[in-house]
Structure 1
Amino acid sequence: MIYGIGTDICDIRRIRASLEKHGERFAQKVLSDNELNTYRVRSERWPERGVRYVATRFSAKEAFSKAIGMGMRMPMTWRLCEVAKLPSGQPTIVLHGVLKEWFEAKGLTAHVSVSDESDYATSYVVVETHTA
């Protein structure tokens, strides 16, 4: 049964401006440790890939927070929600700490889709419940 659905569209130009203004501090606020490592590797090779990476993660986390119905308030935080990739390349939500405990206690599962094109990144998240 569907618990919640979230969607978000993010202007990549806004993310670029935040990174230019605040440097890596902005990325450190939004990204988990694993995501931060990926961001650094992508940025070294091609800075625009790093910007787009942050934008898609920002968008996916916003969509996830909407799907669980709480926005950005505890236990939902930027760094406790991670967007990783399965070996197939499919994006997946990985949770940490109190957010993971809350999510698992509710018997929830998340599905995420992310995309970016030109000036925008977009994400969709469907959260299912497996309890009656």
Structure 2
Amino acid sequence: MIYGIGTDLCDVRRIAATLARKSDRFAEKVLGPDELKVFHARRAKVESRGIRFLATRFSAKEAFSKAVGMGLHMPMTWRSCEILNERSGKPYIRLHGELAAWFAQRNLVAHVTVTDETDYVASFVVVETAATFPATALQP
């Protein structure tokens, strides 16, 4: 059953301006440890790729906070929610600390997708209650 849906549209130029004004402190406030590694690697190769990565993560976290219905209030914090990629490129959400415990307590599962263009990024998150079927119910 769907618990919540969140979407966000973000102007990459706004993220670039904030990053220029606040330097890496902005990225360090928004990104978790594994996201920061990707951000620095992408930015070192091509500045705009790093900025778009930061913008997609900012947007996805906004969408996630809307889907769980709490905005950016405890236990939801920027760094307690990471948007990472599987080897295939598919994005997924990894939660930490109190937010992970809050999420697990409610037996929730999150699905995320992000997209980016030159000036805009968009994110969509669906949070649902995890199915609790007996293993035999899944067999044909």
Short-chain TM bin = over 0.9
- Sequence identity, in percent? 58
AA matched with 1:9: L
Query: Which structure 2 residues correspond to residues 63-102 of structure 1 after superposition, within 5 A?
Result: 63-102=63-102
Query: Which structure 2 residues correspond to residues 7-22 of structure 1 after superposition, within 5 A?
Result: 7-22=7-22
Task: List structure 1 runs of 4+ shifted beyond 6 angstroms.
Answer: none
TM (norm. structure 1) is: 0.97
Q: Which residue of 2 aligns with 1:122?
A: 122
Distance, in Å, in 2 between the alignment partners of 1:117 and 1:53 is 11
Distance, in Å, in 1 between the alignment partners of 2:4 and 2:73 is 16
CA RMSD, aligned part only?
1.1
Distance, in Å, in 1 between the alignment partners of 2:109 and 2:120 is 26
Structure 1 pair 90–131 and aligned structure 2 pair: CA distance change class (3 A)? closer
Q: Which stretches in structure 1 are left out of the alignment for 5+ residues?
A: none
Q: Which of these two proteins has the greater Rg computed from alpha carbons?
A: 2
Q: Which stretches in structure 2 are left out of the alignment for 5+ residues?
A: 133-140
AA matched with 1:86: E
Partner SS state of residue 87, structure 1: coil
Q: Which residue of 2 aligns with 1:32?
A: 32
Distance apart, 1:88 and its partner CA: 1.5
AA matched with 2:71: G
Q: Which residue of 2 aligns with 1:57?
A: 57
Distance, in Å, in 1 between the alignment partners of 2:71 and 2:62 is 7
Aligned length: 132
Distance apart, 1:86 and its partner CA: 1.2
Q: Which residue of 2 aligns with 1:105?
A: 105
